[in-house]
Structure 1
Amino acid sequence: MKRKFTKITLLFLLIGQISFGQGIEAEDPKLKELRVTMREGFDSRFQQLMPTKEEVKMRAAALGFPLSYSLDGERTATLQYFDAQNHPVYFTTMNTGAAQSTGVSALQPGGSMGTNLNGQGLTLGIYDQTRPRLDHVEFQNRMRQIDGSTETISNHATHVAGTMIAAGINPNARGMAFAATGWSFNWDADVSKMNANAYDPVIRPNGHLVSNHSYGFVLGWFRNNAGNWQWAGNTSVSAQEDFRFGFYSSVSQALDALAFSLPHYTIVWAAGNDRNDTGDGSRPPDGPEDTIGPQGVAKNVITVGAVNRVLNYTQPSDVVMSSFSSWGPTDDGRIKPDLVGVGVNVFSAAITNGGAADSYASLSGTSMAAPNVAGALSLLQQLYAQRNANRFMRSSTLKALAIHTAREAGPNPGPDYAFGWGLMNAEAAGVQIMEEDGAARLIREETLRNGETYTYEFISDGSPIRATIAWTDPEGSPSPASLNPRDIKLVNDLDLRIFDDQGREFFPWTLDLSRGALAPASRNQDNIRDNVEQVWIPNPEPRRYTLRVTHKGSLRNGAQEFGLIFTAGVQDASAETLYWIGGASGDWTNPANWSLNRGGAPANRVPGSGTRVIFDQAQALDIRVPANSQAFSLNTFGEQPVRFNLEGNTLEIANGIRLASAATVFTNGGFVLRSDSPNPQQVSFANASFENFFTRVESGSWSFQSVGTLGDLTVSGGQVQVDQNTLTVRALSLQAGAGLSGLSTLIFSGNLDVAQGAMVPAGLTVRYTGADASEYRYAASQAPAALEVQSGELTVLTAPSMGRLRVASGTLRLAQNSLQVGTLETSGTARIDLNANTLRVTAAWNPEGLQSGARISSSTTGLFLFDPYVRLCIGNLAVENVNLQTEAVITLGAGAQIENASGWLAVACEDAVFANFEVNFACVGALTEFTNTSEGNVAAFTWLINDSPVSEQELFTFTFDQTGVFAVTLVAEGAGQQVRFTRNVTIVANSLAQPSIVVNGNLLTSLQPGDAFQWYLNGQPIPGATARSFSADESGTYQVALISGTCNRVSAPTVVLSATGEPELARFGIFVGPNPTRDVLRVQVSNAERGEVQLNLVDMQGRTVRELALRKEGEELQAVIEMPAVNGVYVLVIRMNNAIFTKRIIKN
């Protein structure tokens, strides 16, 4: 039994006597669709990781494993599932100095940054052993047990939760995000609960944005509750080392898939406490390297190691490693842990008296470091949302930010496998958010598609350059169970480089896993392993540089989102930052209204072209902007509205606009956006409104985000990229050489003018929503996919052909000679005025829901050309002075009016005759079927082939004896109408052999086998007769068709005589006599049929004894057949245009 105890286990990472604890922006549509599919199928895909408790209990009993067992330090290991090697997996567990060490205190109320962040409004996920004490005084009713767990209250879970959200009733125990809401879950089926409860901006905007996981597998050596060493490895894989250290398993894969499907959700996992588990000497000790378990190995989680408290950071050596924290690398050499946090002697909420009472305790472990970091990350999201109109960063951007701003730790510059990228530094990350200026400090979220390159150019002033990218990589594939497999788990390999204007290339940090956990990182080669890359240039020359992000090979899913963080001294950045201190109202040009610091003394200067301008006062503002005003960038923040009155003037902006206040109003003037930078400048119009206001883009590249409804937009030069699907403006002028991209729908209510030579996106829908009369000029070579007129009156002066035109309750007035559209959609009180011009529709007309008042008209005669061959019945439509030219049948029904217009049919909709047919088996020698699909009150049919009449039957079959194109015409008559429809039918070669019929009594069987069959009686298909054999119960001529693909091959006719009566031939105009006869038989055919007539006299053995081939040219045909000498019963078979008739003849 003891041997079985040494199998798999997850660790709470509590150590020693004091318990060490481990501890909406635009989205690529294909990625969006993929993520929905991944989330919906996640549980079924990773079902092995989330069995029910009953399933675990039954399997454990069958295999002889305990459901749980005790470890040292009052910890418990609990069986969760069995892995791919049928090995049991056990989970077990692995705080005010922590806030100070990681810089969080600077963000909290009273901190140096003045941001007063507390996590209010955020929801954080806390996954742990059993459940915390929900009514602990520190939680103040902000903790909820979402999964309904009623298990024993856990001191560990309470401590972890306190580190994240404790209110600070005991000031020394205040959590990182002390006003946030905590959602608690036990660790059973954790990945399923994470999938069901994590944040998504669309499907779950109230889900947990960050989750903490201070537990992991029991790995390698561990002490049992008696203090003795035991080993948890799988000896079938390795008898010396637990192969799961550093191993990318199905759990790692599940976490990566989950993170990929929820791109804003950040998962924080404790690295583990296995580094110095020495064991009993029977096997090598764990560590110090390669001691992180499969959850921490996942690419897309933030894995956190533990260090001692740092009171005053001045240099890397101030960060002292704990004695227990697990180190990397992963088996494929990736950098883990990602970050370190304080995890030694962390003071936080706890329990006493079995969970019945509140307490506090100091615990150590990566269990304590992880929530320290998770809480800090949540505050960074809160700050970012405040500065970006309530939008959260993607988790990859947050990860890049945390790594970019981490405090250097370890013996060498750059990352290592012990400290990762360094000590979490929330203060520096907060500064990056607060001071992001679009030039020297960047936070960018981008998408790289196959074959693309992202670039950012800048001129260095000689200050250090640091750039970091991170991306949520698609999940990798686990290797077969083995010790230290080196196959790389990175799927989409992005590459970050910086080049100077001399061609020198600067590489990202890279680690060599063969050199040890603390070996120096290099900056002279490609990084092919990590989904984080950072380029650091400590002493750059003052010159021009280009940052590039590219990719290797073909990107899985065709695109990869990434976050970019950039910090440098940049010559073309803002020269200064000025804060508004002028009170509730004031003049932009008053020097006393500006300060160099937030709330500081007057700077006695006004903004210029190099000034970053910030309005962030805690009161409503009303700012007057006089003539010739300029700014490098305009920024508004806070919970109070800001109003700008430009008094008929313009405000020139060189770098960007970020509006994140409760409301920003611009009136009586306009922006002039003018930039000579090669980089896109960011413009965020969140919560902005415009009154009598325009935006004019004259030069540069501009990225518009969070745009509600703009006033007038003019793009006279440069490019505008819209990072959302829809852009709404009052009016748009896009001039030659200017570009507009990114959007799929443009909504306007005034005039629209797109000049020849302007660049617009393919597939654009243009929608007019005006109330009055407006004009439409669209001369760009890239035609819009659709024009929609929702209201008002729009005059089309210039428009190319387009795929779709929709006119709802508005008026479209055509002022060019002709307009061609694919599909015309009309609804409501749609009005189309052709103005003596021509409208042509080539694909379809959908006249849905027309109401009284809808009309198509013209001042003098207009022309409506309609190409599709369809039957339409349209009510509530008035047509005046518009002639219709079409082969279609368009009937104006109830409520319709026709005045001075030709081509429109004015009959009851149900009486309108529409001729049509379908063709099957168009092959030589086949029985080609012509299926009538005509509509309306049809009384008679006539079929013609190459203008020769061949049949008057509704269902018509014909056998063609040669390939070629044949004009088949159907004439449908009824209700005083005669409608012809001709279709060119191509007859192709036929590889099928002609079948023959074996007769056995009345059972007919095809001699040849085949894929499918169809039986015919007198040339007409027998419904349901599709087997190889058929029982013939009535007299007539039978044939079988052998079917394969789009061809069939029909047999020669076989005559069957039954006891039932024959059809009366006279009603078909066929007269045969005398019968019985002695010597001759006379046949007379009097009907409208024309063409070939075949007469065959067949004896009772199926042999043809007489045959005549005739041609009927007129109304009547007569023939005489000489009877054979032998008396008996014969059958006369008459074939006319594929119609077959039979008559029993007696010879005496």
Structure 2
Amino acid sequence: MRITIFIAVLLLPLLVLAQNTPTPKNTEALLKLKKIEQQKHLQKEQRVQQYLKQKKLISRSFTQNGSDYSIIDVQNNKPVYYITHNAEAAFSVGINDLRPGGQFGLDLAGENARIGVWDRGLPLASHQEFQGRLLNSDAASEFSDHSTHVTGTIMAGGVVPAARGMCYRGSGRAFDWFQDTEEMIDEVLMNDMLISNHSYGVPGGWEGSNWFGNAGISTDEDYRFGFYDGEAQAFDNIAYNAPYYTIVVAAGNERGNSGDGTFPPDGPFDCITGFKTGKNVLTVGAVRKLSGPYTGPDDVEMSSFSSWGPVDDGRIKPDIVAPGVSIFSSVSGDVNNNYSSFQGTSMASPVTTGASALLNEAYFQFNGNFMKSATLKGLLIHTAREAGSNPGPDYSFGWGLVNASQAVEHIIGTDGVNKFIIESTLQNGEVFELELNPVLGEKITATLVWTDLAGTPVEASLDPSDPMLVNDLDMVIVDESGNEVLPWTLNRLNPMNAAVRANNSIDNVEKIDFDNPDPRRYFLRVTHKGNLVTGSQDFSLILDYTSEDAGIQSFYWIDDNGSWSDGSQWSNSSGGTTINTVPDANSKLIFDDNSFSGQSGVVTMDQDFTVAGIVALNSKNITFDLGGNTLIITGTTLMGSDKFTIRNGTILFSNREVDQINIDFDAVTTEELAIIIDQANTAQWQMSDNSFQVDMFHLLGGAMMMENCNITISDALFGSDVPVLLNIEGTNLTTINLDLNQNLTFEGGASNTFIFNDNDAQLKFGIDVDVPVMNSQNLTIQRADIINSVLNEGALSINDNIRINTLVNNNATSLSLFERIDLSLETLEINTQASDFNIHCSSAQNKASIMLEGRNKFCFDNLNITNVDLVGESVVSVGENSTVDNSENWFIGSCEDLLFADYISDYECEGALVYFENTSDGNVVERDWYVDGIPVFGDETMEFYFENEGDYEVMLEVRDGNGNSSAFTQTITIGPTNLEPNEVGMNATQLFSTKSAAAYQWYNYDAPIPGETGRTYAFNGAPGIYFVLTFDGDCNRRSTILDLGTSVIDLDDDTESGISVFPNPFYEVLNIQLRDASLDIKEIKLYNTLGESYMLDVTGRQELTFDISWIPAGYYYMTIVTDDLTYLKKLVKYE
């Protein structure tokens, strides 16, 4: 049996059910399951209590290595444990867009959320972040930081904004992790719980120095890694019988645990345990938060600990990833306002739980009911951001990073035409089918998820491959010729391999990414293998693509050669029977290999026609004869084939409604064909990767995008009396006549080329063009303003004033300028060999001119210049083999004989030592520098200290040995600096910069000291005149000058200096006594250890007394400067 749904009429009535009653669930099955779980928990509890008594343990719970443990069962006399496994997080998963001020205009905060949290202990419900919205439902004896943090990540109110949870107005119920499954059943039955979070699980392999594996089964790894056990079965059973209940679980933090080396380390792959291996749960791995807006897979960075799949039968785990590193949230304590940052998949899981609850809230707002858990899971996977190194899923990131923003966009945009959320049921033997009519090249993405019956665990063993899938559904996209597009799948035996497209028989999730569909009919089909247990299987399908107008009808050409007007030549299916109808404006025409019985055919058009589009899918030779008529096409045109010939007529593209339409003429042969995009058109036409030749191409309206094309056009006109847009990228247009109208908006750059290779080519630009122009024969530029570059390999004529950024003449013959034409060039290249290059104007009275912009030196040879003056500041040597007639300012002589003064400067800031470097050209033998007309010292380089901001005239004059000179003067603007004024401090052996900076350079006697680029300089008492430059970015700053023109004496080592400083240490008063009356003290300074200095006034000659109680206590150096010596003294000041 086949159920076919035609998208044009699909209204999805099942999405508007009222939600004033509880969500559907299998109450009878859940009650039976609860009894089973109660009995299991009772038996587990008896074993635990017996173990505690036997081992004389006071408590079943403890904390080790930052993780909380509780014994939840005892097997083979070994305990089984549970172990615990946000503003930036909300940004990373797109939740900001769901809040006030976001792009959707929504205010989703979780009011309708029905959230449960099971965890180690209970969260502190009185914490200020929960504001009475959290109910603790167990009588646990203690509160837990872990549980409080997890719950806060979901629903903290944002009293501290950085800790705001995903559902900051949501309500929740919390439980400890004992008896979790039976409590989950109760919550579903009694409180209609929709979603719960479980940031814990069974530890596997290494935890600290303990190995939790069973060496009797395997010493290679803990067999429980990837093993589908009774816990996974129980969780799957609950989910299957409560189809609207979503169970979110943390993947675990096992990867990379290595223990003491007695057993192999965990991971990297196959290290997920327990209920996290379930089919119907949403298993969440942890990544780092995004550092900025998502731009691609490389933005998603894996954490160092998150457990990776696969599970033993090869299913994809984790399902999805979310931020789990440095998550800031509430924690418990003696007060209700404690916070901390944690990391782990325990943090990624509540981020996803909160996001999932918001998606359910959005779905309810727009549809009046909640999603099934399979739908919610499918929506998260369908819209996840790509992560990892390869397309598709992997065993590290699962299906990618949670993207709540795109998921809500899909909910809002669901229309039954382009976006779908379908919840349906497949009966035994039935085929579910959707007809798809995509726009060319617009991606189709489909995700199928179903809540499967619980699997049956096998006997404990290492990596059993027994499939846990019970009902095996399949999804495929197929075209009318039977070509299939299959879903992604992974290989458990080679977990590092990229995903491939193949039949999937292990996952209850299938996703198809069809990147480049043709504009033809496809069918999405959902089928099943074998018999469906219970006779049927509910499923959820998420789909988005870009559909063609539903009113378009496909017409297939049949029965070989014929006339367009003959209705018997057309069918509504490939190779089908005739419909005896002629196509009209709502028809899309398809030519394929079923159109002709032989290897070639001719289709003749006997009058003008209008159609919605043409698709050629043929491998046979087809000739399309327009018969001198005009074919008007309003939609996608796919004729790209070297087997297709179009001749004798006009194809006119016009559309007033559609935004973007594709044209493909790649490799088509054309004869006497004109292509026109008419003036009334307002659509945007897209042409990519096309190579073809056409006699005429006129763009008169709307917009045209050409990407990576190589098109030859005899007559090209772009623009008309109405605004027109032409955008080209990576495209070469070879033409004879090119006219870019002044009403044209042109977007293009250096990746494109306009090529002229005709003896009578003409170029007319009414706009500025940033596209290279290439001339190989004779090109006349009739009208233009600015052209980016011209490569001239022939004869180039300029008939209008124009600016060309770069003009390159490679073995060209001539550059001709019309009289009184001014040609402006930024760069000129002339590459000649044996033959001369002619630059000329025909009028001796009305000469033309060439301005070389900027200030540069050019050197050429073998030129013939007639009636063309050189203007501007640049200089040109035309060599010794050129002729110059009636043309001014060209230098006749060798390049070396033409002097050209020039320099560059750096560090133009207040207080800087500005650096100038001579870059002059020619036979320079002397150089003189001037600042504001005053000569200064310098040669190849010159350094000058500018104390203040302002404008200064700096001139360099150069001379050769023959008395010729050239001067260059420019205004140097000295700007402000961020560097603080600086001094040089000193002790007995070192000088130091009192200010810190990014870099330093020490000077002595106005010359830089090689290699001395640190904050300190070991001068060892050597005399000199010192200063230091400090650097920061584009500025430097010169310190004050320290004149140590004479020797430095350390008073601590010298007893005959005639100077005494006392007391030392001192408190307030310091005395200096001079035993030599001839000593003339010029200056006394104190330096602290930070380099700060204090100047002391010199008030006497023989004995100086200073009250310096005002300086802080500490260590100091004193410098005493006389006429010919500098004395140093180390001092200590007490409080």
Q: Structure 2 length as normaliser, TM-score?
A: 0.48
